Homo-oligomer: A and B are copies of this chain.
């Protein structure tokens, strides 16, 4: 590796000061066009590499944004991340990504890392049980926070998420309108704001339609295909089992449909199943999954923009923005089978 090239290397070669070089490379109008071109040209020629740490030490802007979610491999978050990535890319921010797997200490470590690196902001989907305190701590240290997908009680920061209660209501009502009266809810937990909202939405829709809800019809579990798959036999073992299941998300729904198939039944015929999120995968599942579009792209984009605006000095008030979900009807739901 050749000798490190720095501003002064260029400055010396061209008989100007480092200040001029610095300004020229950043297209400052303070330097004459001709000089600027000469400098940029030379910099390119000798392969100068801008040292961001040195710069940010001086400017205290690092161009780094931290993003932390439960699990980046979960397609739901993956779609959000894709949107965030696009937005951040366009404004030249680097993002560092991490999973917290719903472990508070992993989340704290991450925030700490971002602080140490002098990050400009954080976008996070808070781990279960995140205290408002943790968020305040970040903000106190000059790290603006934006929340996605879940909110944190008493945390005074912007939140972007789907309207879960409303969305799950769409799915439940759809099943009810098809004639189902015994409807279970499969997957998910009640420990997140999302979880509570979805369960409430389901309950509310059932009650509004005057339908009974048995406690054993709530089969909670992780939000994974595996969990849905495992829930299927439980569901089928219920005496007088329901004719339909509202699943926490598409993953659980797809897993459950697989489980139903394993039991020799046909989802969408014997048992109706709805998902949630409308992942790309939902449309090509067999049968194609009736689900609720949850605006992942919207959430990601708006969250990223809100953060960027804040970095640019806009006074982002702590608002909560709910994206309105939409029902996508496909083949996994139908009228209940007579017996």
Which residues of A does B touch, CB under 8 Å? Answer: 1-2, 47, 49-54, 56-57, 62, 64, 72-73, 75, 78-79, 81-82, 85, 94-99, 112-113, 115-118, 139-142, 225-226, 229, 255, 257-259, 261-262, 280-281, 284-286
A78 cross-chain contacts in B, Cβ below 8 A: 72-73
Across-interface contacts of A116 in B (CB, < 8 A): 49-52
Can you name the residue of chain B whose Cβ is closest to the Cβ of A285? B258
Give the distance in Å from the alpha carbon of A2 to the alpha carbon of B285 in the complex: 53
CA distance A126 to B85 in the complex (A): 19
Please name all residues of chain B whose beta carbon is closer than 8 Å to the beta carbon of A64 when the two chains form the complex: 117
| A75: B residues at CB distance < 8 A | 73
- Given A94-B117, A280-B226, A284-B229, residue A53 in contact with residue B56 (CB < 8 A): yes
Measured between C-beta atoms, what is the minimum distance from A40 to chain B in Å? 16
Which B residues touch A54, using CB under 8 A? 57
**B residues less than 8 Å from A53 (CB atoms):** 53, 56-57, 62, 117-118
- Chain B residue with Cβ nearest A56: B53
| CB nearest to A85 among chain B residues | B99
* Distance of A252 from chain B, by nearest CB (Å): 12
Q: Which B residues are in CB contact (< 8 Å) with A117? A: 52-53, 64, 94
Residues in chain B near residue A258, CB distance under 8 A:
284-286
How far, in Å, is A168 (CB) from chain B's closest CB? 24
- B residues near A62, Cβ cutoff 8 Å: 53
Q: Which residue of B lies closest to A139 (CB)?
A: B1
Q: A72-B81, A73-B79, A96-B97 are in contact. List 20 more A-B contacts (CB 8 A).
A: A1-B141, A47-B141, A49-B115, A51-B116, A52-B118, A53-B56, A53-B118, A54-B57, A64-B117, A72-B73, A85-B98, A85-B99, A94-B96, A95-B96, A96-B96, A97-B97, A225-B281, A226-B284, A258-B286, A261-B286
Q: List 27 A-B contacts (CB under 8 A).
A: A1-B139, A1-B140, A2-B140, A47-B141, A51-B116, A53-B53, A53-B57, A53-B62, A53-B118, A54-B57, A64-B117, A72-B73, A72-B78, A72-B81, A73-B78, A73-B81, A73-B82, A85-B98, A94-B117, A97-B97, A225-B281, A226-B284, A229-B284, A258-B285, A258-B286, A261-B286, A262-B286
A285 / chain B contacts, CB cutoff of 8 Å:
258
Residues of B close to A261: CB separation below 8 A: 286
Q: How far is the CA of A2 from the CA of B229 in the complex (A)?
A: 51
A225 touching B50 by the CB < 8 A rule?
no
CB of A1 within 8 A of CB of B142, answer: yes
Task: Provide the residues of chain B in CB contact with A139, threshold 8 Å.
Answer: 1
**Shortest 10 CB-CB distances between A and B: which pairs?**
A73-B78, A53-B53, A52-B116, A261-B286, A96-B96, A97-B97, A258-B286, A1-B142, A229-B284, A49-B115
Per the bound structure, the CA–CA distance linking A78 and B141 in Å amounts to 32
Contacts of A57 in B (CB 8 A): 51, 53-54, 57
- Chain B residues in 8 Å Cβ range of A257: 286
Residues of the B chain whose Cβ atoms lie less than 8 Å from the Cβ of A56: 53
